[in-house]
Amino acid sequence: MSSSTSLSPPPKSSILAVSVCGLGLESQASSSVQLPSSITSQKRDRNSYIWSHMPGSINTIYTNSKNNVVWRCGLYSKEYTERGGTTAPKGHLLKYHAIDDPLKGVKQQAQTTSILKAFERGKEATNKRHKIQESFDLPTFKELFIRWISRCSISYCMSTIPEFRDLLAFLNEDIEGALPTNGVQPAASKVHFTVDLWTSSNSLAPLGMIAYYFTENGQLYQSVLALRELEGQNSGENQAQLVMKIIEEYGIASKFGYFMMDNADNNETMMKAISVGLLTQFDITYNASHYRLRYNGHIINLTAQAFLFSSDEDSLSKLNNTASSIPSQSEMETWRQKGPLGKLHNIVVYIQRSPQRRAAFQKLSQGKHLIRDNKTRWNSWYAIIGCAIDEKVKPAIELYCHQNQANIRDDLLSIEDWKNLENIQAFLLDFHEVTLANEGRSTTLEQVLPSMDYLLEKLESGKTVYAADSFMIPCINSGWAKLDKYYRLTERSSVYIAAMVLIPSQKWTYFEDNWDPDWVTVGKKTVQELWQSQYKSTEVIIPLLEPQPIKTGFARWKAEKARQTPITDEYTRYCQAVYYPTEVDSIAW
């Protein structure tokens, strides 16, 4: 397979074979050259242990068919180009032959010793111009590190390489445990959180946790506290243990604020477990119901799902995930019972599960694609119906269905079905607009109640508009019931009302104009209690002035008639103050 000659050019092999180490397959043909010392001295130094595991001596030069110098395994026919470095050969020797660097422990000890000596030299050189950085600016380091990674096409795993970490440790010995605690711990406000758990494509269960807080200069800030795998069951208690561990690491238990999460039942359990943990570990009383907030977008989506399907959308989502090229009869029948939505779903699924059927449909629709419904994608039904009633797509659907009646005869859409789809599309427009209004970082809690009020108003008016429509009325009633359920759950936390009251341009006017007077009275009481218990500032004690003697009867009369301005706290002064223009930003104000 190889020859050892002196300075002769390597022969180019005409054989091109696949090399798979461990399977005994022939490698790509290559040649070897033993160079004299005058030439070998010009090549790279071969100090790594990998070179002693080649056929022949470490000075043997092997080349492949492209005349590139390669490292060749002495046990199997596996090669790596020399210019690719030593990482791949090291990994090969360790994985397939259990051969590791015999001096690994010695090198690590030497590195540690050299770093310690470097620190000592750095401390001794305090009067020199260049010295080790003693302070560490984490935000600046993150920005520079990201710029370096992206600009120079550095591998993402660079931060895990021991030699690189040694370099960082040399610059600052505290960098290994760097966390954004410097920003979270001295926060001027309580620290609020969003927590979410999901399953990744590689079957892991990562839990993400983000903190939101105001800094000392009044700026709203957010920090990613953790993205960690949840070990064990996906239970609320298990999630609470991980959250408490993160909170302990950051030292912010005393600043615990609100949690914004979706409506999963295990989040309720998690909040109760956190409440118990705060009480037992830190002696902190924490009202789990009050501090548990819900994603408004998730509520809107659940309401839309209830409007579309008044029953078990979970069972439909399972059928929606089957991968057969032709949907089963039971699957199609289950969807068909949902009326025009189910029929449209069956048509789209049937067409999209075959490349040939997709191509045939696109010929009829002038290249237009059908959109597939997706339970986890909000407003997907708004998109699928909007696509179906398009002036180019609708005729294509009708023609395709008539051409393929043998398979989808029972799903042909009638004139009434198309009318119902158009009515649903018009109704879903409100859900779509409200969802978009609640997206983005600038959206805050003040949007929740107006969004719900708007949709409830639309649902109420729909009961009148579609009073004689036997198809739309059940949909509207189902959506109204779902939204009303979550509207009532907002009563558990007065912060929803407080967020709107703190809009300088409206204060209590929104509720006074749109709510029942009894509701407003209860709302004012709960917000006042929230202010008194959590946010009221310490009163400033003003020393009393010595009373001046009253010299005349007129002066005495004026003093008796004068009404003292009542002493009020900050919240009361805010409510009684003039209204601000609508363009005033609530947070900045």
- Tens-place pLDDT, residues 182-198: 567 777 888 999 999 88
Does 209 have pLDDT greater than 60?
Answer: yes
Does 12 have pLDDT greater than 60?
Answer: no
Does 542 have pLDDT greater than 60?
Answer: no
Q: Find which of 70-84, 300-314, 501-515 is predicted with most confidence, using mean pLDDT.
A: 501-515
pLDDT at 182: 57
- Classify the C-alpha dihedral 53-62-78-46 as positive or negative: positive
**What are the residue boundaries of the structural domains of the chain, listed by start?**
4-97, 105-177, 181-294, 300-486
Does 291 have pLDDT greater than 50?
Answer: yes
Beta bridge partners of 80: 71
Question: Scanning the structure block, which residue is given the tokens 């996906």?
Answer: 234
Where is pLDDT greater, at 166 or 559? 166
Does 564 have pLDDT greater than 60?
Answer: no
Please, what is the Cα angle at 284 between 283 and 287, to 5 degrees? Answer: 140
Among 96, 91, 85, 100, residue whose Cα is nearest residue 20: 96
Phi, psi of 214 (to 5 degrees): -100, 135
Does 56 have pLDDT greater than 60?
Answer: yes
For the whole prediction, is pTM greater than 0.85? no
Beta bridge partners of 360: none
- Classify the C-alpha dihedral 482-483-485-489 as positive or negative: positive
At 112, the pLDDT band (50, 70, 90 cuts) reads low
Q: Which tens digit of pLDDT belongs to each residue from 334-364?
A: 777 788 988 998 899 889 888 999 999 999 9
pLDDT at 268: 92
Q: Give the CATH number of domain 181-294.
A: 3.30.420
Mean pLDDT of 202-218: 85
Where is pLDDT greater, at 294 or 33? 294
CB 321 within 8 A of CB 315: no
**Which two structure tokens, joined as six digits, stand for 219?**
């700026």
Q: Where are the beta strands (DSSP E) in 163-219?
A: 191-197, 206-214
At 5, the pLDDT band (50, 70, 90 cuts) reads very low
By the 10 Å C-beta count (0-12 exposed, 13-18 middle, 19+ buried), 235 is classed as middle
pLDDT at 125: 52
3-state secondary structure of 42: coil
pLDDT at 313: 45
Among 101, 100, 103, 176, residue whose Cα is nearest residue 138: 176
Among 376, 419, 420, 368, residue whose Cα is nearest residue 397: 368
**Which two structure tokens, joined as six digits, stand for 332?**
């199609």
pLDDT at 145: 82
Beta bridge partners of 207: 197, 228
- Classify the C-alpha dihedral 494-497-500-505 as positive or negative: negative
CB 54 within 8 A of CB 73: yes
Ramachandran bin of 209, using left for φ above 0, alpha for ψ from -120 to 50, beta for the remaining angles:
beta
Where is pLDDT greater, at 65 or 450? 450
- Classify the C-alpha dihedral 320-321-324-329 as positive or negative: negative
Where is pLDDT greater, at 317 or 463? 463
CB 571 within 8 A of CB 531: yes
By the 10 Å C-beta count (0-12 exposed, 13-18 middle, 19+ buried), 257 is classed as middle
Where is pLDDT greater, at 296 or 441? 296
3-state secondary structure of 47: coil
At 563, the pLDDT band (50, 70, 90 cuts) reads low
pLDDT at 150: 84
Q: Flag the least confident range among 200-209, 217-226, 304-313, 345-354.
A: 304-313
3-state secondary structure of 494: coil
Beta bridge partners of 221: 213
State the SS3 of 66-118.
CCCEEEECCCCCCEEEHHHCCHHHHHHHHHHHCCCCCCHHHHHHHHHHHHHHH
Q: Which tens digit of pLDDT belongs to each residue from 231-253?
A: 888 888 999 999 999 988 888 88
At 276, the pLDDT band (50, 70, 90 cuts) reads very high
Q: State the chain's mean pLDDT as an integer.
A: 78
- Classify the C-alpha dihedral 463-466-467-470 as positive or negative: negative
State which amino acid sits at residue 572: T
For the chain, percent of residues with pLDDT exceeding 90: 31
Mean pLDDT of 395-416: 89
| Cα distance between the two ends of the chain | 79
Q: Which tens digit of pLDDT belongs to each residue from 478-532?
A: 999 999 999 999 999 999 999 999 888 888 999 999 999 999 999 999 999 999 8
Ramachandran bin of 7, using left for φ above 0, alpha for ψ from -120 to 50, beta for the remaining angles:
left
Cα–Cα distance measured from residue 272 to residue 452, given in angstroms and rounded to the nearest whole number: 26
CB 209 within 8 A of CB 239: no
Q: Flag the least confident range among 180-184, 226-230, 452-456, 509-513.
A: 180-184
Q: Which tens digit of pLDDT belongs to each residue from 14-44?
A: 222 223 333 333 333 444 444 333 333 345 6
Chain-centroid distance, C-alpha 364: 40
